[in-house]
Amino acid sequence: NDDALLAAAKTLTCEPKYLRANYQILSARRILKDVSIRPEKLCRLKVYCFDKEYSFTAPSGCKLIDVLESSDIAIESRCRHGACGWCRCRLLKGSVAVYDNDKLRAADKMVGYIHACGAVLIGDVELAIDY
């Protein structure tokens, strides 16, 4: 169970940064429980990237960065766990579940930015990648 794994992780003698990828998996499991995601549900995505507009579908419960990359949408990324900010994009409509260890700055949250690597699809969304 997730709580037992988290408790065991706290007893290790390595730095937390080495556990972050695994912790995200645990965090995602909690998200899936909390927002009652139906994996069989297809979410509609509309993405504005520079001068192009993309429309496609993806199953709910998928990580946003994985969906974008598998749809051949170029998105910068470095850490893939919500710390560096390279995969920042603007959520124009809809909602996503966000990992509880995501490091998005408060100022970015206020204007609608999210980290694609720290977001899970829970419904239809409209995004802008504008860097």
pLDDT attached to residue 98: 86
- pLDDT tens-digit series, residues 106-118: 888 889 999 999 9
Rounded distance, CA 39 to CA 125, Å?
A: 16
Domain boundaries in the chain?
Answer: 1-131
Alpha-carbon dihedral angle through residues 57, 63, 69, 71, given to the nearest 10 degrees = -10
According to CATH, the topology of domain 1-131 is Ubiquitin-like (UB roll) (3.10.20)
Nearest to 64 by CA among 114, 131, 130: 114
- Tokens 């998105």 found at: 75
- pLDDT tens-digit series, residues 34-86: 555 566 689 999 999 988 999 999 998 889 999 999 999 989 988 888 888 89
Taking the whole predicted model, whether its pTM rises above 0.75 is answered as: no
